[in-house]
Amino acid sequence: MKTEILLVDDDSYTRRLFEGLLRSGETALQTAADVAHARRAFHESDFNLVILDQRLPDGSGLDLFAEMHAERPQQMAILITGFADVRDAMRAVRDGLFDYLTKPFTNLDELRTVIDRALEMDRAYREIVALRETLGTFAGGPIIVSRSAVMERVLAQARQAAPLDTKVLIEGESGTGKEVIAKQIHALSRRAKGPLMEINCGALSESLLEASLFGYEKGAFTGAGKTTPGYFEEADGGTLLLDEITDMSPKLQASLLRVLQEHTFTRLGSTAQRSSDFRLICATNRSLEAEVKAGTFRTDLFYRINVVAIRLPPLRERPEDIMPLALLFLEHFRSKFGKSVGPFGADAIASMETAPWTGNVRELRNAVERAVVINGGGPITLADLGMPGGLARSPIPVARPLPYREAREGFEREYFKNLLQLAGGNISEAARLAGLARQNFYNHIEPLGLVSGS
């Protein structure tokens, strides 16, 4: 699908500049020279991005943005503004404007980058909306972001394995989404209506884990106050997820192997053979193969549970997933805490995209949760996210002074454009206001491309 951009600017020079910058096979650029036309275009199509000039012949770009934002809160918009109005633009960023660009444009790469970022955010928002719609149909399945090719492959594997009822081994660093994938497999299997029982083998002592898995009769051990069925039984007709399987002691590994071979087991303190129909999914944040080599995990058990293996890549190996995940979490915590914060500020986006995220998706989720709690309104900053390097972006690019010619051109364009606006497009009147002869005035504005736009 083509990317559709609406440019609202009465200045033909700016229009030409953006046409040159954006015209390509994938982008359709529509232009409007005033608020009235922009409004009509906005109602007639669905734009991926709106770029608005601040000063328009029949109103302000900011007011127009506010109108669009009220109607379509996720509309990506960029404001083009002069130095004089930069404060208003900064304020608008607090109210949902994606970013602003100051005129005269001195750095076309920066322009391109801001536009690309806005389009990227738009795509991510649209994906999440689409995801919610498709997932609505499999009740219970978690929302899984998979923009990257590697995650797409993981999901394809999960979808393939789900209906087959085979054992699945999910490997991946902590926080990469192993549980999410296990839930997805369960939700897409014929056991979806059955229970999904999860137990973390690393969180319990050997005897407690054994009692939890096998169940026990009253009095089987000190503290066994009443007869309790174990997870094997509870997972009957559903799925059993053994998390951190590498933490299972050798003794329990042997017992588990027996259950898998014989399909029967007994509760602690009982000799009655019981059976249960559960599908086993195991997860680990270590390499099970390495544990086998090191002799800490039984080879025979490894082959039993490793029928289909799914490896979840760490977040740093799939940077395309970062912003879509961040947006999903932002939406989630916004509604959970009932706070209308965001969007993410430009600095925050840049840092999030390149951070190492050693705690993977869970770390990102926690950072966004923290940001939503801390943020006092407006865009989410690095400080809100608890990320280092929270230097505010300087609103006016003063680092590189403009060459005189460019600075003069920028000034002249703004100056003459304002004059023309003031004079209602009447060149003679504008020349009079400037204290210049009409022809002289014309000679100034003609090379600036202000004649056709007036």
Ligand X SMILES: Nc1ncnc2c1ncn2[C@@H]1O[C@H](COP(=O)(O)OP(=O)(O)OP(=O)(O)O)[C@@H](O)[C@H]1O
Q: Which residue in the set 96, 172, 313, 379 belongs to the binding site for ligand X (CB under 6 A)?
A: 172
Window 308-347: residues binding ligand X (CB under 6 A): 325, 328
Minimal distance in Å, beta carbon 176 to Mg ion? 9
Asked if 368 is part of the footprint of ligand X (rule: CB under 6 A), the reply reads no
Q: Binding to ligand X (CB under 6 A): which residues in 91-130?
A: none
Q: Which of 61, 82, 104, 175 binds ligand X (CB under 6 A)?
A: 175
Please report, as residue ranges, which positions from 231 to 250 form the binding site for ligand X (by CB under 6 A).
Answer: 243
- Distance, in Å, from the CA atom of 38 to the CA atom of 9, rounded to the nearest integer, reads 9
CA 104 to chain centre: 32
Give the nearer residue to ligand X in terms of CB position, either 276 or 285: 285
Residue with tokens 């000034």: 411
Which of the stretches 24-32, 156-164, 176-184, 392-400 binds Mg ion when contact is defined by CB under 5 A? 176-184
Angstrom distance (rounded) from CA 99 to CA 244: 44
Q: Least CB distance from residue 202 to Mg ion, whole Å?
A: 10
The residue among 31 and 189 lying less far from ligand X, judged by its C-beta, is 189
CA dihedral of 246, 321, 182, 329, whole degrees rounded to 10: 110
Query: Rounded distance, CA 424 to CA 454, Å?
Result: 8
Between 238 and 324, whose beta carbon lies closer to ligand X? Answer: 324
Smallest distance, Å, CB 313 to Mg ion? Answer: 16
* CB 307, min distance to ligand X, A: 20
Which residues partner with 38 through β-bridges? none
Q: Where in 285-324 does DSSP place strands (E)?
A: 308-312
Number of residues that bind ligand X (CB under 6 A): 18
Strand-strand pairing, 239-243 and 279-284: parallel
Residue 276 near residue 236 (C-beta atoms within 8 A)? yes
Which residue in the set 171, 179, 321, 331 belongs to the binding site for Mg ion (CB under 5 A)? Answer: 179
**Binding residue (CB under 6 A) for ligand X from 189, 285, 351, 454:** 285
* Alpha carbons 142 and 187: distance in angstroms, whole number: 8
Q: Are strands 279-284 and 215-216 parallel, antiparallel or unpaired?
A: unpaired
**φ, ψ for residue 50 (rounded to 5)?**
-120, 130
What is the binding site for ligand X (CB under 6 A)?
143-145, 172, 174-180, 243, 285, 325, 328, 361-362, 365
What is the binding site for Mg ion (CB under 5 A)?
179
